[in-house]
Structure 1
């Protein structure tokens, strides 16, 4: 499948009314798992807790000096809105996305939050980050949360290469995504059909991701299973329970696929074949 065809598939996943997704994953639309730490909590609470933990692991405490941020695949704008408040001194936050529905929603929520003067949204494929305006200043922080799962191998390679060209020595790349612990050609899904649910069929291993980062000038500073598998499975089951409760019949296709993926990915995690990883990488200095 060529890149344009796969891009269209990803766009279809997020074409539905964001209100439907709010019912499934929480009103604030924290879409990338959550940290429970043995406590109860809303999906919004655990989602924000996870992102804040990642930022702390990267040494980016509240109010830290960050001059420019890029969020690759920013979803409904949740992380951009959060970072605009966490780093009030950051004068430029850029976000790229290919979903027109998500871009419109994010633009409205950012305006409502009063941070739209600092946030710039672009309808842009991750492969084309090099074409974003204003080469200077370079990005201090680049976020990939839940977006790499949608990338073809070629898109991942091109995106990381483009990010490398738009960052400086010491810049941080922060990643969260489900990754596989066995070679993808040896992975056997619990679902026997070949449907590419949620346009996440291009599975990636942890080792493959690290190799791409290293090829393009990044060194891994921190890597860990975060959230824990128990928390990741709990998040998936909470999302599925919301879908089952609020859409018992005639549910939107994307939410049906989300429910299916929740069961399938949880099974892979229980078998030790996949986990959600938090990765912090730093841009290496250019060779002398």
Structure 2
């Protein structure tokens, strides 16, 4: 099914089975992108940021977010203008990573983006059209478990990106998505992951704020050990694993976001921003205690 935005298009892929958790994730991203820009930065980077302790350390959320993604792509061995034939971005948000990759890899003829949020997909379609790159980027409103249904199995993907999306997936959806990605990824191609993962058994974790709600649809927590197992069972070998950004940098990013909620979102704040404020407090405590970390994972598809 083809859908049309103000300036851009996207396709809808409907799988064979429903995901009962999908509406909860969709509800997180229903608010006006203008409000999200006020909270996480004009360019809408939404997966932490790198600051580093250096005179050139970024001063804005946008700079820190871009710097983090570029560092991951460098770790994956993909400098600017690397020869890539096809890219997949799972959970592309408001299109920031898609736009960035289209500019970093201008000779890549096809970039596929997957997202289940209608508002985010519409915003991204218009954004890419205004940037003049809609002809190279194909958007699919698609549950991650249905990646196997994306058209054109050839050529396979030379790069797959999952940044912050795994936290929204149920274990069953993560298993299905990883299996599909494995089938559709070229041998030796990198998968770039950024995710908050727990370093202790989940039954031993205690939230700083009582877990009375599933905040930001991230209630399906995952440990680092579990993600490593899922990747290994689907023919991926981890080539680089780091706590990146550091706990201090991640806490700094969360504090900046929390402060922007206080300054720019009128009370009572919409539910996602109330939840984001609580997540900032909860996660900062876990990061300081070492019970959770933000990890950069670079894996490669084994032949």
- Cα drift, residue 251 of structure 1: 1.1
Q: Take 1:147 and 1:70, find their aligned partners in 2: how far apart are those partners?
A: 13
Match of 2:4 in 1: none
**Structure 2 CA distance, aligned partners of 1:121 and 1:228?**
32
TM-score of the pair, normalised by structure 1: 0.97
2:123 to 93, 105, 109: 105
Provide TM-score, normalisation by structure 2.
0.92
Give 3-state SS (helix, strand or coil) of 1:208's partner. Answer: helix
| Residue matched to 2:19 | 4
The residue aligned with 1:18 is 33
Secondary structure of the residue aligned to 1:137 is coil
Query: 1:62–1:87: 8 Å Cα contact kept in structure 2?
Result: yes
- Answer yes or no: is 1:35 the counterpart of 2:35: no
CA contact 2:35–2:265 (8 Å) conserved in 1: no
The answer to whether structure 1 residue 71 and structure 2 residue 68 are counterparts is no
Matches within 5 A, 1:258-273: 258-273=276-291
Match of 1:193 in 2: 211
Matched, 1:132 2:147: no
Aligned length: 284
Q: Point out where structure 2 has 5 or more consecutive residues left out of the alignment.
A: 1-16
CA shift for structure 1 position 284: 0.3
Deviation at 1:3, TM superposition (A): 6.2
Q: CA deviation digits over 1:111-149, x for unaligned, max 9?
A: 111111000000100000000000000001000001000
- Is the aligned partner of 1:204 residue 2:204? no
Superposition map of 1:1-288 within 5 A: 4-38=19-53, 39-285=57-303
Q: Secondary structure at the match of 2:189?
A: strand
CA-atom RMSD in angstroms: 1.0
Encode CA deviations 1:240-286: one digit per residue, 9 max, x unaligned: 0000111251211111111110110001001110010000000001x
Query: Cα deviations across residues 211-253 of structure 1 (Å, max 9, x unaligned)?
Result: 0000000000000000011000000000000001112512111
Q: Determine the C-alpha separation between the residues in 2 that align with 1:247 and 1:189.
A: 25
CA distance in 2, matches of 1:43, 1:54: 17
Q: 262-271 or 191-200, which moves further after superposition?
A: 191-200
Cα separation, 1, equivalents of 2:184 and 2:163: 18
Q: Deviations over 1:154-188 (max 9, x none)?
A: 11111000000101211110000100000111111
* 3-state SS in 2 of match to 1:96: strand
Secondary structure of the residue aligned to 2:174 is: helix
Contact 1:3–1:152 (8 Å) recurs in 2: no
**Structure 1: gaps spanning 5 or more residues:** none
CA deviation string 1:40-87 (max 9, x = no partner): 511000000000000000000001011100000000000000000000
Residues in 2 aligned to 1:71 and 1:243: alpha-carbon distance in whole angstroms = 28
Cα distance change, pair 162–173 in 1 and its aligned pair in 2 (3 A): same
Contact 1:31–1:47 under 8 Å retained in 2: yes
